[in-house]
Amino acid sequence: MRQRLSSEPDRYRGRRRVPTVPGSRYAAVITTALVGAGVVALGAGAAMDDAKGVDSSALKNSLDTASAAAEDLADREASAERSTRDSERTESTEEGLATSLSSSPDAWLLPLHGYEFSAPYGVRWGKVHPGIDLAAKEGTEYKAVHGGTVTLAGWYGGYGYAVIVDHGDGIQTIYGHSSQLMVKAGQQVDAGTTLGLVGDTGHSYGSHLHLEIHLDGNTLDPITFLRDRGVDIQSEIEPIYGSVTAP
Ligand SMILES: [Zn+2]
């Protein structure tokens, strides 16, 4: 197990913070709902009663209904944003930073640092490359990109010594060609937990990490998948607080 981040301050130097969603969204929703309902009620009243004027109780009922709907929306919005605020609350201290990085269930991180992006996902030389290759020195630690359960840690054919992590929601990650494994099947891991050491085992052409991401059994391009979660493989940038969630 490696030391947590408080001992590695320069790991974050120059990293960009990914902005979080502003908290004013549901205020706008309430306003829109009330104004919209008012306009509808006034319009209906005018059409039905014509010269007799607007039925004020109908207008009031419509406004009450709209108001209840808006509160319901606001409640749901508020609880959705509560989780964001909870993870932000820990951002104020150095200790909080380490805690949120290692324990936030929403965190997505780079699998390692100091690599060279050496092969993309997709068709390559007439063959499908189901993941990406990140060249790094043999023995470099690599980590889980997200929390989950290790479902395989061992020899896995052409992948050599490999780790598979099940993240739930149909998402799995595979890490291939390790020189050494640091976890066991059945183990729970957090984003950033060291899984193994980079190597050249299995069908490999030099020391590198082969990373695959599967969704419901199909491979995805890890570049775009991780970019949607605040992790930029090509620029080696990850969210400092690990609190960015998928849209
Ligand atoms: Zn590969």
- pLDDT tens-digit profile of 47-105? 333 444 444 444 445 445 445 444 444 444 444 444 444 444 444 444 444 444 445 66
Rounded-to-10 torsion of CA 16, 20, 22, 25: 150
Instruction: Compute the average pLDDT of residues 197-202.
Output: 98
Instruction: Sketch out the chain's domains with CATH numbers.
Output: 25-103 (no CATH), 116-227 (2.70.70.10)
Mean predicted confidence (pLDDT) in 168-179: 98
Interval between CA 222 and ligand 1 midpoint (Å): 12
Ligand 1 midpoint to CA 113 (Å): 17
Burial of 67 (0-12, 13-18, 19+ CB in 10 A): middle
**Contact indicator for 164, 179 with CB cutoff of 8 Å:** no
Average pLDDT over residues 198-203: 97
Residue-level pLDDT at 225: 98
Is the pLDDT assigned to residue 242 strictly greater than 80?
A: no
- Averaged confidence pLDDT in the chain: 73
* 3-state class (DSSP) for residue 214: strand
Which pLDDT belongs to residue 222?
98
How far does residue 14's CA lie from ligand 1's centre (Å)? 29
Burial label for 131, CB within 10 Å (0-12, 13-18, 19+), is buried
Q: pLDDT tens across 19-53, in order? A: 444 444 444 443 344 444 443 433 333 333 344 44
Residue 207 confidence (pLDDT): 98
Please compute the mean of the pLDDT values over residues 152-174 and round it to a whole number.
98
Res 108 pLDDT > 90: yes
**Å from CA of 125 to ligand 1 middle:** 13
Cα–Cα distances in angstroms (integers) from residue 58 to residues 68, 76, 240, in the given order = 15, 27, 52
193 C-alpha to ligand 1 centroid (Å):
21
182 CA → ligand 1 middle, Å: 20
Going from the Cα of 126 to the center of ligand 1, the distance in angstroms, rounded, reads: 14
Q: Are 238 and 15 in contact (CB under 8 A)?
A: yes
Pull the structure tokens for residue 69: 């709907």
Interval between CA 119 and ligand 1 midpoint (Å): 7
pLDDT on residue 239:
86
HSE of 18 in the Cβ direction (CA atoms, 13 Å)? 20
Q: How far is the CA of 57 from the centre of ligand 1 (A)?
A: 69
Residue 165 has pLDDT above 60, yes or no: yes
Cα 27 to ligand 1 centre (Å): 48
Is the full-model pTM beyond 0.75?
Answer: no
pLDDT of 240 reads 73
